[in-house]
Structure 1
Amino acid sequence: MVLGLRNYSDMHLLSRSVSNTSLRAHSFSLSFALIPSISASSSSFSSKCRAEPISVPSQPPPVSKRVPFTLSLHGHSWQDPYHWMRNTNDPDFLNYLNQENSYAQAFMADTGSLQRTLVAEMKNRMPSKVSTPVECFGPWLYYEYIPEGKEYPVLCRRLQTNKPGWAEKILSYVKAEFRREEILLDWNEVAEKHGYVHVGQCRISPDHNFLAYTLDATGSEQFMLQIKDLRNGCIIPMAPENGIVSLAWAQDCKTLFYTIADENQRPYRVLCTKLEPGNTDDTLVFMENDPSYCVDLTSTKDGKFITVNSNSRSSSEEGIYVYVVDATEPLNGLQRVHERVSGVKYFLEHHFGFFYILTNAPMKENIKCSHEGLYLARCRVGDIQSTTWQNIFYPGKDTCIQDVDIFNGHLVLFLNKDGFPMICSIDLPINVECKHQMLIEDLNPWFFPIPSNSCSVEPGSNLDFMSSVYRVVLSSPVIPDVIIDFDMARRTFSIVQQEEVLGAPSNARSRSSGYELDTLQHRGIEKDAKDKNVELERWKDFSSTYCCERKEVISHDGIQVPLTILYSPKAWKSSQSPGILHGYGAYGEVLDKSWRADRLSLLDRGWVIAFADVRGGGGDDHSWHKTGNGLFKQNSIHDFVSCGKYLIDEGYVQRDQLSAIGVSAGCLLIGAALNMYPNLFRAAILKVPFLDILNSLLDPSLPLTMLDYEEFGNPGIKSEFECISSYCPYKNIRPRGCHPSVLVTASFNDSRVGVWEAAKWVAKVRDSACSSCSRSVILKTNMSGGHFGEGGRYIQCEELAYDYAFLVKAMGVDMN
């Protein structure tokens, strides 16, 4: 429910299907046609740490200046000669980054032809125009598309004309005008104006006359608020304010609530602004003074209430405050839901006079508070501060509730059963007057038919409270993203759209809804004949061409770690194939394993792509996160190493041909593994990496530091200091040791992970590691972007081509 701030996934927009070629996630294609010849300007080296020589520039890599700097804590002292890089305005630092960029360019010069080939092939796999299906919201149909040849999406809408009575009211010549497309927001125009665009939140007012959105035009994530009057297309003048995070409209359609972050990127204040002539002063509604808490703002699905959550960002270990604002009278102040109780969480929705509360503390004296599982309770609006909440139901055995959504006639539950995602709907209202405690199964739920082969399930926008249709996006390593509408009233479903994959294997199978329903038996759910659709729906599935296996790998302490392995049985060769192992392991976030078309070219040439769901990330329940963070962080590192060894020992990947990829906080995992087991990995890619965790967490003035104490520990506490110090990737680089080839990418304006983290790590590797190995460690810094990079669909092609060309070169793989 609560995301880590260093999580790499982007903020959700109006739709989850934006700013890329996929219906949901980045799906860029990639294929290798040749390996270019080695440039004559390069030299090569071969040593005991390399099975094959790697071409490196004849020029030596940059050497950074060293400035003595000593830190001391808990009786320990250590040197950090690159501490000076924290001053990003230092001309020497800018000069160093430019030198590293020049060295990276020289190192990758002999891959230029390969990169151009990759970019061309990626673009050839892309449809010329990408669009989302329309979504009904009130009288309007909203949708997005990326125009042909453009980088970014355009948000549009048009009026519906098929509602009862409309045809009789509107003359035929007016109908065409009503169906005219309205462009609400064009990301491309913003990018052309500012050179960068990142849209955070988009919120349509209840009367559909205004669009409020947050915009970052620099990459610093200092979002500013923009409000557009959709009746005339004009931006409403407002006093400039940066650091806007979340938005929520009141029902008068003139009052907008928003949160604002402090200098450490902690959302801590709630304000409201009135769209009235002459209004210059926004009203402070709430302020959280505790620096370890963040404030989140949202509205209930029916728009009747606005909820203000003050909670710990990662695990709510210290409890949570929830306040509600009556959206019909927005200036009447806050009402607190419940006292803050350590470890207890509350998430609220509203339905016809009742609050539905997802919590891990059911309010009954004879039931103990569970700090793990979530349950659903309810109470009347007037009894919100009472201790007599009604427990509606508990999940069954081996099942946990992860989220809820609510509509006029249906309740939607996101569940996890035995490690697999599930969704079900329950008809509303619910009769909870029975004497015994009910289970979900007692309420005649309809379990949405979803496949069982490592499928991810993401909700669509689902903005319309009155709708009986729930939209989701299904995806797996072998199923291109499929948008499906589940009709909760009729208990049927229909496939709306599937990602188009140009140049895909011709033997991809078309699956029918009958197949989909058959997979229910793998979930322990009995099929119901009435669940079948009248007509069979079909979609493409590549499971006959590519094998997707889920293994349980035994870690150092006997715990079984899920490992997803993807390969082509036709191209893969036992113990002879190169491989990539992905890992993250932080904030309780599940590693993304959704479909990506660019993988096909790797798979077709014998590569293995694997995903290690290590502890610290998302799992079957909350404990999977807790046993891989804080004092238990080394569990996630050992899990990752165990998965890497498994791939080699079981013959999936050739020894000395395994690489690793990490992003943001996931680079802690990869960096620590490289230090502990340098001979396990031939190469690695670290993107916007968090590597200097010890020194960063010792500086509370840095953004996110205090919020990250809960995830990684507070080095001010001796036991936590010793734990962090034991695995910190920057601190534990082995002196004079051999080191895998590494591509490190950073962004100068990154406000989540300072650009100096990557620069310091590379400088220390240059100084500490084997001189031959350090020449194949390169740093590439985007001097204008932020944590999420540039983000455009074609720009992403170039970044992917660069990454994969590096792996091909560093690992010496013959792709022919």
Structure 2
Amino acid sequence: MNKHITLLIAALTLYTMAHAQTLPKPPVAPLKPRKITSPGGTRIDNYYWLNNRDDKAVISYLTAENAYTESVLAPQKALEETLFTEMKGRIKQQDQSVPYKDGAYYYQTNFVQGGEYPIYVRKKGSLDAPEELMFDCNALAKGHNYYNLGGYEVSDNDELAIFCEDTVSRRLYTLRVKNLKTGQIYPEVIPNVEAGDFAWATDNKTFFYVKKDVQTLLGYQVYRHVLGTDPKIDVLVYEEKDNQFYMSLYRMKSKKYVAIVSDHNGVTTEYRLLEASKPTGTFKVFYPRERGHEYDIQHIGSTFYVRTNYKAQNFRLMEAADNLATTTNRSAWKEVIPNRADVFLQNMDVFTNHLVLGERKDGLAKLRVINQKTKADEYLQFTDPAYVAGIGNNPDLNTNILRFGYSSMTTPASTFDYNMDTKAMTLMKEQPVLGGFDKTNYVSERAFVTARDGVNVPVSIVYRKGTPKDGTSPVLQYAYGSYGSNTEPGFSANRLSLLDRGFIYAIAHIRGGQEMGRAWYDDGKLLKKKNTFNDFVDVSKWLIANKYAAPDKLFALGGSAGGLLMGAVINQSPELYRGVVAAVPFVDVVTTMLDESIPLTTGEFEEWGNPKKKEYYDYMLSYSPYDQVSKQTYPNLLVTTGLHDSQVQYWEPAKWVAKLRTMKTGNNVLLLHTNMEAGHGGASGRFNALKEVAMEYAFMLQLAGKGEL
């Protein structure tokens, strides 16, 4: 079929979908003006009333929006089913992870045919030993619309396991203890804990956990519990008084220490340590919090390795003696790896005879292995133009085998074992992709785009061989660009459904992440946040100018803070995009950051700024997608959210859509889909989540004229 006719049919289809007389009109949210006054200024919010999930009128409105979305998207349901079946068909349902050894046991995660959730098992001493069931999440999820096992921790004697569960998707987990020998679940039930943040003492009966504030959802208290006692008498061992800090807790790899970590979102770090053999002792500060000083530590033998940004923007590696009476004296630390302007020291792992560093250079991940005896070092070599490689699960200090993960835009997630002495590299598993996938059918590229201020932005691109690069192809452009989080150019089996239908996929590694080093993050936050949006728009223009994208077939996708990105770029340059998917978007920046009762707000001041200060208020207001909605033609827009979202509250996208309905011009569709049973991550389970992906993909495929079954 002629491509112009195909595109016309797609456009007419969506126009008809939105305007057919048999379909309901879009819901209209009532205007209920509310004055919001702060030290930074005063605003009127007409839709603040949507901030109440217990209000029947709110639920009715969200339900009406869902019904409208379902009606408008009805013509694409067959395509959604095809996509869902296709994506599900690529998953090897009977599957298992590569085992790893921790102590006397090998641990593994299994999936069974038709199972939504993982099954955790172990084998003692040998992979040929009988399999012991730890947790069958399919059984645990029965009776729940949502289920997530938030992690487990096995005691030193290998007999007990702490675990925690969330059945609401509010990220308030309930902690339990299971006897792995008998299968008994102990009677203690501890609600409202942080997922995975627990640690056993060496006595196999005492453990520590982090309690969360049920309103702000911040972990702020560490308790000590003794198995067999009433949790009501648990001892509070530490409380974080500053609500701008996030808190975590874990047992260090050496097993000697339990660590409490307080982190002020990219600004300040503080560790407290306690010897696990002395659970009733006092946690001692490794190095006291100091604004601007971030660090993390690893312990082995008589040494602490310290990754620190002290006088080192891209971080350097130092070492300190295992003596908590002296670690607070930073002048006693010794430099191991200096700061480098062109290399970002991202993370590390320690072994008895080796040190492994995760680094980044020119936007790509590097793995560096240092022999502690000979001091010789080497970088592992990878050949794909765009890829991700990262240190894997290595609980054994005394091994010479490094487990690491690798993926590229054409290579599925792969697990490797690397012998750090012989240099032998063994592929342990490449994640199977069923349905006839052949990686040689796809091509990946990497480019640098010069942004408006002269900065070069990396872009990772993938497409199926034979896809035209002559300005006629649809392109989906993705980015995140916040919190220093890197958007890695890894593999997605779901994405094949777009690539096989002629889409080109591009990741814009925009400022706000740390792909190009710490300065890349610093230049995309606070009063430099607009660099993030400008980078994305400039990459979009480059994709069109260089004939990757047809001028009328460029699509954009982003979620959470990436949803803020979507809102900002369509306010700035709506004409560039044929369609946009904004998933759980953070779009009401000023109102949210003014309300310290909303989960996670206070910890975000160092990312976005505190709007109670006028300088930040004015800057945030100038880009906040909700506040900057104007009378203009916006792209076709699909917005998704979850009623129980704990990170971006559902009312942000709901208010944004309500305001867009009254302001936008033209006939492009505007749709809001609220998952009434899920939170920030959407539906739980490995298959249910695909239904939302299928809906988003079908939306874009129809608009691109690629919706043929």
TM-score range, shorter chain: over 0.9
Question: CA-to-partner distance for each residue in 1:273-306, whole Å, 9 max, x for gaps?
Answer: 1124567521111111111112221222110011
Displacement of 1:239 after TM fit?
A: 4.0
Task: Go from structure 1 to structure 2 and tell me whether the alpha carbon gap of 1:120 and 1:452 turns closer, same or farther (over 3 Å shift).
Answer: closer
Corresponding residue for residue 357 of structure 1: 306
- Match of residue 62, structure 2, among 97, 121, 131: 97
- Match of residue 144, structure 2, among 194, 197, 205: 194
Displacement of 1:749 after TM fit?
A: 0.8
Between the aligned partners of 1:56 and 1:152, the Cα distance in structure 2 is 43
Q: Alignment partner of 2:367: what SS?
A: strand
Matched, 1:325 2:274: yes
Q: Alignment partner of 1:486: what SS?
A: strand
- Match of residue 454, structure 1, among 386, 389, 401: 386
Kept in 2: contact 1:270–1:285 (CA 8 A) = yes
Q: How does 1:503-582 map to 2 (within 5 A)?
A: 503-505=435-437, 508=438, 542=439, 544-582=440-478
The farther-off stretch of 414-423 and 475-484 is 414-423
Matched, 1:784 2:677: yes
- Match of residue 295, structure 2, among 346, 366, 373: 346
Q: How does 1:146-295 map to 2 (within 5 A)?
A: 146-161=111-126, 179-245=129-195, 246-262=197-213, 263-276=215-228, 280-295=232-247
Matched, 1:798 2:691: yes
Q: Alignment partner of 2:143: what SS?
A: helix
Between the aligned partners of 1:734 and 1:581, the Cα distance in structure 2 is 24
Between the aligned partners of 1:266 and 1:429, the Cα distance in structure 2 is 43
Q: Alignment partner of 1:71: what SS?
A: strand
Kept in 2: contact 1:460–1:473 (CA 8 A) = yes
Between the aligned partners of 1:713 and 1:777, the Cα distance in structure 2 is 30
AA aligned opposite 2:184: C
- Match of residue 712, structure 1, among 608, 614, 621: 608
AA aligned opposite 1:64: A
Kept in 1: contact 2:443–2:462 (CA 8 A) = yes
Displacement of 1:45 after TM fit?
A: 4.1
Corresponding residue for residue 757 of structure 1: 652
Q: Alignment partner of 1:577: what SS?
A: coil
Corresponding residue for residue 662 of structure 2: 767
TM-score for both structures, normalised by structure 1? 0.82
- Match of residue 367, structure 2, among 423, 446, 453: 423
Task: Go from structure 1 to structure 2 and tell me whether the alpha carbon gap of 1:697 and 1:577 turns closer, same or farther (over 3 Å shift).
Answer: same
Kept in 1: contact 2:387–2:488 (CA 8 A) = no
Displacement of 1:38 after TM fit?
A: 9.4
Corresponding residue for residue 539 of structure 1: none
Displacement of 1:390 after TM fit?
A: 2.0
Question: CA-to-partner distance for each residue in 1:343-381, whole Å, 9 max, x for gaps?
Answer: 1122122211222222223xxxxxxx2344232222232
Identity of aligned residues (%): 30
Q: Alignment partner of 2:574: what SS?
A: coil
Task: Go from structure 1 to structure 2 and tell me whether the alpha carbon gap of 1:340 and 1:350 turns closer, same or farther (over 3 Å shift).
Answer: same
Kept in 2: contact 1:43–1:58 (CA 8 A) = no
AA aligned opposite 1:388: A
Between the aligned partners of 1:659 and 1:43, the Cα distance in structure 2 is 18
Kept in 1: contact 2:512–2:525 (CA 8 A) = yes
The farther-off stretch of 124-133 and 107-116 is 124-133
Between the aligned partners of 1:488 and 1:573, the Cα distance in structure 2 is 43
Task: Go from structure 1 to structure 2 and tell me whether the alpha carbon gap of 1:576 and 1:603 turns closer, same or farther (over 3 Å shift).
Answer: same
Number of aligned residue pairs: 699
Question: CA-to-partner distance for each residue in 1:110-143, whole Å, 9 max, x for gaps?
Answer: 1121112222222222223121011111221110
Displacement of 1:551 after TM fit?
A: 1.1
Kept in 2: contact 1:554–1:560 (CA 8 A) = yes
Task: Go from structure 1 to structure 2 and tell me whether the alpha carbon gap of 1:305 and 1:229 turns closer, same or farther (over 3 Å shift).
Answer: same
Kept in 2: contact 1:347–1:359 (CA 8 A) = yes
Between the aligned partners of 1:54 and 1:613, the Cα distance in structure 2 is 38
AA aligned opposite 1:95: S
Task: Go from structure 1 to structure 2 and tell me whether the alpha carbon gap of 1:104 and 1:427 turns closer, same or farther (over 3 Å shift).
Answer: same
Q: Alignment partner of 1:479: what SS?
A: coil
Between the aligned partners of 2:377 and 2:121, the Cα distance in structure 1 is 35
Kept in 2: contact 1:446–1:491 (CA 8 A) = no
The farther-off stretch of 485-494 and 385-394 is 385-394
Displacement of 1:597 after TM fit?
A: 1.7
| RMSD of aligned alpha carbons | 2.4
Task: Go from structure 1 to structure 2 and tell me whether the alpha carbon gap of 1:679 and 1:771 turns closer, same or farther (over 3 Å shift).
Answer: closer
Question: CA-to-partner distance for each residue in 1:580-604, whole Å, 9 max, x for gaps?
Answer: 0101110000114211122223223
Matched, 1:679 2:572: no
Between the aligned partners of 2:194 and 2:319, the Cα distance in structure 1 is 32
Corresponding residue for residue 3 of structure 2: none
Displacement of 1:646 after TM fit?
A: 0.7
- Match of residue 385, structure 1, among 328, 332, 348: 328
Corresponding residue for residue 300 of structure 1: 252
Displacement of 1:97 after TM fit?
A: 0.6
Q: Alignment partner of 1:588: what SS?
A: coil
Q: Alignment partner of 1:561: what SS?
A: strand
Matched, 1:337 2:286: yes
Q: Which runs of 5+ in 2 are unaligned?
A: 1-5
Between the aligned partners of 1:770 and 1:585, the Cα distance in structure 2 is 29
Kept in 2: contact 1:577–1:657 (CA 8 A) = yes
Task: Go from structure 1 to structure 2 and tell me whether the alpha carbon gap of 1:151 and 1:56 turns closer, same or farther (over 3 Å shift).
Answer: farther
Between the aligned partners of 1:598 and 1:586, the Cα distance in structure 2 is 24
Kept in 2: contact 1:679–1:740 (CA 8 A) = yes
Q: Alignment partner of 1:211: what SS?
A: strand
Question: CA-to-partner distance for each residue in 1:762-803, whole Å, 9 max, x for gaps?
Answer: 111111112633xx1111111111111223122122222111
Matched, 1:402 2:346: yes
Between the aligned partners of 2:628 and 2:698, the Cα distance in structure 1 is 28
AA aligned opposite 1:743: L
Corresponding residue for residue 23 of structure 1: none
Q: Which runs of 5+ in 1 are unaligned?
A: 1-34, 47-51, 163-175, 362-368, 431-442, 509-541
Question: CA-to-partner distance for each residue in 1:15-47, whole Å, 9 max, x for gaps?
Answer: xxxxxxxxxxxxxxxxxxxx99999xx98749x
Q: How does 1:48-59 map to 2 (within 5 A)?
A: 58-59=23-24
AA aligned opposite 1:475: S
Between the aligned partners of 2:258 and 2:509, the Cα distance in structure 1 is 35
Displacement of 1:686 after TM fit?
A: 0.9
Between the aligned partners of 1:43 and 1:448, the Cα distance in structure 2 is 51
Between the aligned partners of 1:814 and 1:769, the Cα distance in structure 2 is 26
Between the aligned partners of 2:387 and 2:59, the Cα distance in structure 1 is 44
Task: Go from structure 1 to structure 2 and tell me whether the alpha carbon gap of 1:597 and 1:627 turns closer, same or farther (over 3 Å shift).
Answer: same
Kept in 2: contact 1:297–1:309 (CA 8 A) = yes
Corresponding residue for residue 520 of structure 2: 624
- Match of residue 603, structure 1, among 499, 510, 535: 499
Between the aligned partners of 1:73 and 1:780, the Cα distance in structure 2 is 32
Between the aligned partners of 1:495 and 1:452, the Cα distance in structure 2 is 16
Q: Alignment partner of 1:323: what SS?
A: strand
Q: Alignment partner of 1:467: what SS?
A: coil
Matched, 1:499 2:442: no
Corresponding residue for residue 374 of structure 1: 316
